[in-house]
Amino acid sequence: MSIGDHKSHSKPLDIHAWSDHPEINIIVDKVWHSLGQHRQASLTPKGNRKGTQPKLIIKVLLVHLYETFLDDPAFWTGVPRSTNAYVPTSRYNSLNVSFKIVQLIDGLVELGYLEFVGGSNDKTYAGWKSFTSRIRPSHILKVEFAKCTAEQFDIYKHKSKVAVILSDFDTDIEGKLIRRRGKRLKQLIEYEDTDETQRMELMLYAYNSLLQKTYIDIATLEKTYIERETKVGIQRIPINQNNKFVSRIFSRGSWTNNGWFYGGFWQQLGKSYRKDIFINNKPTIEVDYKGIHPSILSINKGKASIVYELDEVILPDLNKKQQTKALKLLILAALSASSKRQAYEAFRASSDLPLKDRELSKLINSFMELNPHLADELFTAQLVNLMYQDSLITEYVIKKFTYSDVPILSVHDSFIVQYDQILTLKKYMGEASKAVLGKKLNYERDFHNYTETLQFKDIDQGYYNTLMNNPPKVETTERYERTYNKFRLWVERNNQGKEPYTVVGSWKGQKVE
């Protein structure tokens, strides 16, 4: 791996990387002493001023670098060098990592512990070619790391890391923040804790604790990562037990916008990879609930249902079933868009039907005749508001599974569960919609059926019995088997699976039967 790969073959510095492994602490002490008295003094808070203890900053940096070393010794880390990037008083910087980390990095570069490549501020191509400075362990530090017996499973997010995020920005389906136009917006908004935010944090702490002791992997994968094309080049997504932390993000500065659950490598995968996910060495099933938002909106408007089945075929090139599927997809697009043009373009981007604007307008007009209560709601970018109620349904389901000490994974419009848990998932989804909306969603009618993914309407006792007799057959790789067995031994050695997670605060302190 050459130095020229520093832009694409890298990941951002994680200021919440942590480990309690004693050998990592030994490396921290060794690096601290090697800095010498002058550098130690410059990193130490002066007088009575409270500041971040330098050994904590060293530990965060070294734990992150050790994790990248285990992943790939040639991997680089992106490190911002502006003071704005390190606000030790921010709730999103719970370990209070200060700008002194840049001073520490410079010292470690001088001592030969780190390789360094300066960043670039691109003003020619609208910032697309900008990149932060890069560091990676030098040969000296790699020798120290090679002697350490800590495993990748010994590295995790510090328990103080905030999982409830409030932003002025919108998000994409993977939780990446997207700036909205026309305003000076804050990427992350500082907020005061309330009973509700603390309740959400406690729930996410329990859920992330469960995920930490759960083995989640793509059983058919030969490598420990996948690569995908992005606007800025090839992106590498680690598929390992350190890439599982889940947050909840609220958008547009409001606690009633968005609120979806983001994080975990499974949210960055296509369906072709997701179908081969194993949870604790057991095959999984992905269950789709796409199309829930129009039904939520209809219930909010006091109507029991939405009518998608038009009385007649109004587009002669489609049969009635194709027309209904097209209409469901079109209504989803119309709720997300702020104009007809946006909605029609979004429809064509997601559908293999080459329908023209006038044909789509025909469908919309016929739909509004049958559902006049939704006429004023289309093309008003309603989705971000409906996502919040969707997130409450997701929260209910995740909470019930977590209470039972059973892991479940959420994607933006589906759940991934161990194959023998599908009836339980359907039960909890029914409970969740009744609890959140006051009415149980109709599985036969309310869910989008445009894709081939399993849907709730397909799940019954007969399907379950068939699945139990013929579980999903997936050919596991040698890499998967080796890593799973290492994780299983690590769990036994550290008693990770002996007791359920600790439940605190507003949680009941016991598993739900």
Contact 313, 327 (CB under 8 A): no
Paired sense of beta strands 10-12 and 133-137, if any? unpaired
- Identify any residues that bridge with 236 across adjacent strands, giving them in sequence order: 227
- Identify any residues that bridge with 216 across adjacent strands, giving them in sequence order: 279
pLDDT reported for residue 322? 87
Query: What are the pLDDT tens digits along the chain (513 aa)?
Result: 444 577 778 899 999 999 999 999 999 999 999 999 999 999 998 755 566 889 999 999 999 999 999 999 999 999 999 999 999 999 999 999 999 999 999 999 999 999 999 987 755 555 556 778 999 999 999 999 999 999 999 999 999 999 999 999 989 888 889 888 778 899 999 999 999 999 999 999 999 999 999 999 999 999 999 988 877 677 889 999 999 999 999 999 999 999 999 999 999 999 999 999 999 999 999 998 887 888 888 888 888 778 888 888 888 888 888 888 889 889 889 988 889 999 999 999 888 888 999 999 999 999 999 999 988 889 888 787 889 999 999 999 999 999 999 999 999 889 999 999 999 999 999 999 999 999 888 776 666 555 567 888 889 999 999 999 999 999 999 999 999 999 999 998 887 544 444 443 444 333 333
pLDDT reported for residue 317? 86
Nearest to 384 by CA among 197, 171, 163: 171
Contact 264, 245 (CB under 8 A): yes
**Tokens read off for 487:** 């994780």
Paired sense of beta strands 454-455 and 282-288, if any? parallel
Q: Which residues of 43-65 are buried (b: 16+ CB within 10 A; e: fewer)?
A: beeeeeeeebebbebbbbbbbbb
- Amino acid symbol at 121: N
Distance from C-alpha of 355 to C-alpha of 384, rounded to nearest angstrom: 26
**Tokens read off for 150:** 């800590």
3-state secondary structure of 127: coil
Nearest to 191 by CA among 239, 140, 253, 251: 253
Distance from C-alpha of 199 to C-alpha of 196, rounded to nearest angstrom: 5
3-state secondary structure of 164: strand
Contacts of 192 (CB under 8 A, 6+ apart): none
pLDDT reported for residue 513? 32
Q: Classify residue 45 by its DSSP letter.
A: P
Contact 204, 403 (CB under 8 A): no
pLDDT reported for residue 496? 55
CB-facing half-sphere around the CA of 240: CA atoms within 13 A: 21
Nearest to 264 by CA among 223, 222, 212, 221: 212
First to last CA, the chain: 52
**Tokens read off for 116:** 């360094």
pLDDT reported for residue 506? 42
Contact 145, 66 (CB under 8 A): yes
Ordered by start, the domain boundaries in the chain are: 3-159, 195-293+383-493, 307-370
Contact 256, 166 (CB under 8 A): no
This model's pTM is above 0.75: yes
**Tokens read off for 171:** 């998000």
Sheet holding 258-262, edge to edge: 164-166, 247-250, 258-262
Contact 186, 167 (CB under 8 A): yes
Distance from C-alpha of 87 to C-alpha of 74, rounded to nearest angstrom: 29
